[in-house]
Amino acid sequence: YGFARGFEVYDQDNFGHNRLSSPTLVGKVLARLEEWKDEPFFIWVHLWDPHYNYIPPAPWNGYFRAGRQPPRQDVQCLKWVENPVSREQALWFMGQYRGEVAYTDRYFGQILEQIEQLGLAEQTVVAVMADHGEAFLEHGWLGHTNRLDETLIHVPLMIRRPGKEAGHIDRVVSTAGVGRRLLEVAGIDGATFGDLPALPASPDGTADERPIVSRTIRRGCWTALSTTRYKYLIEHRRCREWLFDLKQDPGEATDISAAQPERLLEMRHALAEELRRERALGVARAMLPREIVEQAEARLRSIGYVGGAQTGGGDAKTVTCARIADPGKVDAFGDTAAEPCPEDAVSRCLESVEKQP
């Protein structure tokens, strides 16, 4: 996939959903820091223990215990079913997830301690962010990748830069702008990142406040456009749309599209403009050779991403998702198969809603 391009070392372990990654990964990071302490370095670390299946080790599995343990815990399957567990069972999942976050935080702290002990803190930029959040029935769903609610796409983003005072940037930004900002901090031209929205250089600094586009890329067919205050959400297999005021309603409980038709039209047009900008820049999904796709599917199947999910405890066991409920309910989005959303679906849907009275 080209992820290793430009790296001198690219170390990828196949941990799957049933193993803890932090001890091994952080151990390797600490060794690299010691090895490279006298020269410029860039290290990217993907700690993914805060992830289903939610299996924090003791004692972290008891720190936030709440609710009632569900009979089955294969979230990779449960996430495609609306209201797959009770509220009490969702609380149990949430407590275990919080335990995973606390467990991972301990290991991330070891990285920061190593940077301090090596005398590198005043010359090292540290950026921390998440690729997604988790849902625990706030809108009736569990897990991630299935929707674009704020619980899933509003993620932590922290940058510690030597010589800069701490502060908070109260505006919408995109994680896609982090790489560009890090290059610029290092004195390297960030233009190679193209037209991606830039991050402000400081809490009081200016930045391109273009709205941010978010998408699902798997079974769900959703696109969102977010500004600092408003969020426009469209599900484009059935051409349904919502508008939320995130300042007044951060939990997205009330659709204001009928109450604010002018704002709805403005956000709808803004999304269409962003899509036109992408097309002009040639932004599109890469087409991979079939043999690469087949290899990837085999590997994803081995860790529970394709064809079922693995359950914790003992030997891995593959579970067929269709056993969760009746076939009509397993498919949360009206899809006849687990196929990606068509490339032009959102454009066609925007054209359709524009014609509605």
Q: pLDDT tens track of the chain, all 357 residues?
A: 678 888 999 998 766 777 888 999 999 999 999 999 999 999 999 998 999 889 999 999 999 999 999 987 888 788 878 889 999 999 999 999 999 999 999 999 999 999 999 999 999 999 999 999 999 999 999 998 778 999 999 999 999 999 888 888 888 888 888 988 898 888 888 777 777 777 876 666 665 678 999 988 766 689 999 999 999 999 887 889 999 999 999 999 999 999 999 999 999 999 999 888 877 776 544 445 566 666 766 776 666 555 443 333 333 333 344 434 433 343 444 333 345 666 677 788 888 777 765
Distance CA(216)–CA(59), nearest Å, equals 35
Residue 129 phi/psi, 5-degree rounding, is -155, 165
Distance CA(161)–CA(123), nearest Å, equals 8
269 secondary structure, DSSP code:
H
Distance CA(347)–CA(279), nearest Å, equals 11
341 secondary structure, DSSP code:
P
Query: In the structure encoding, which two tokens stand for residue 38, read together?
Result: 């006298």
Distance CA(306)–CA(110), nearest Å, equals 34
Residues 93/117, Cβ–Cβ less than 8 Å? no
- H or E element at residue 54: none
Residue 349 phi/psi, 5-degree rounding, is -70, -40
Domain-wise residue ranges, the chain: 22-172+211-354
Q: Is 107 helix (H, G, I), strand (E, B) or coil?
A: helix
Residues 138/53, Cβ–Cβ less than 8 Å? no
Distance CA(295)–CA(301), nearest Å, equals 10
Based on its alpha-carbon atoms, the radius of gyration of the chain, rounded to whole angstroms, reads 22
Distance CA(144)–CA(201), nearest Å, equals 30
Distance CA(5)–CA(10), nearest Å, equals 9
Distance CA(261)–CA(246), nearest Å, equals 17
Distance CA(280)–CA(274), nearest Å, equals 10
Half-sphere exposure of 152 (CA within 13 A, CB side): 22
Query: In the structure encoding, which two tokens stand for residue 117, read together?
Result: 């002990």
Quick one: how many helices (H) and strands (E) in the chain? Answer: 10, 10
Distance CA(171)–CA(70), nearest Å, equals 38
Residues 50/97, Cβ–Cβ less than 8 Å? yes
- H or E element at residue 182: helix 178-185
